[in-house]
Amino acid sequence: MPASPDPAPATLVPIAISACLLGERVRYDGGDKRAVGLLAALAPHVRWVPLCPEVLAGLGVPRPPIQVIRADGGTGVREVERGTDHTARLAAASAHIVATLRAEGVRGFVCKARSPSCGVGDAPHHAPQGQVMGQGDGVMVAALRVALPPLVVASEAELDSAGACAAFLRQVRAT
């Protein structure tokens, strides 16, 4: 039986992905977190739209680590060591990402687990004094949930099997 032809570009589903998961060296430490299994499972079916909110916010590579801070009913982002506040910069980057996702027709986003910007329910949230208060969404994911409620968002940790990747793709195609 002859091999199936590659899918036509028009049939590929546009999916955003944290750029570090594609192997781009954009993490705070200058490294990446290439998600080999996830990429192998989804790449034949999707057109990747790589994004890194921290790079889009101008934080640089490498950069000091940041953390989500909960205070007075709101969340912000600051550098761990120096305490520099990057809330406004990441809010602007998140707004740019929302516009990009709309322009590209993106219906799903694969995010980096536990990231202060991209975590999906598992980003550590800290008190102003630094102690961990719990977990929640990273600041970009929180902004996406408000601006694009139908967007299907998952972390690479959730997409740890071929079955989970297939279910994610079915959910994205259904939106």
The predicted pLDDT at position 74 comes to 87
Q: Average pLDDT of each block of 10 consecutive residues along the chain (175 residues)? A: 50 96 97 96 96 97 96 90 96 97 97 97 95 96 96 97 96 94
The predicted pLDDT at position 4 comes to 47
Domain boundaries in the chain? Answer: 10-64+88-120+137-174
Backbone torsion region of residue 151, taken as left when φ is above 0, otherwise alpha when ψ lies between -120 and 50, otherwise beta: beta
The predicted pLDDT at position 1 comes to 44
The predicted pLDDT at position 9 comes to 54
**pLDDT, tens digit (0-9, with 9 covering 90-100), for 153-171:** 999 999 999 999 999 999 9
The β-bridge partners of 142 are none
When the candidates are 3.40.50, 1.10.10, 3.10.20, 2.40.50, the CATH number that belongs to 10-64+88-120+137-174 is 3.40.50
Question: Element (H or E) spanning 12, and its range?
Answer: none
Question: In 133-174, which residue ranges form alpha helices assigned H by DSSP?
Answer: 139-147, 162-174
Token representation of residue 111? 């995010």
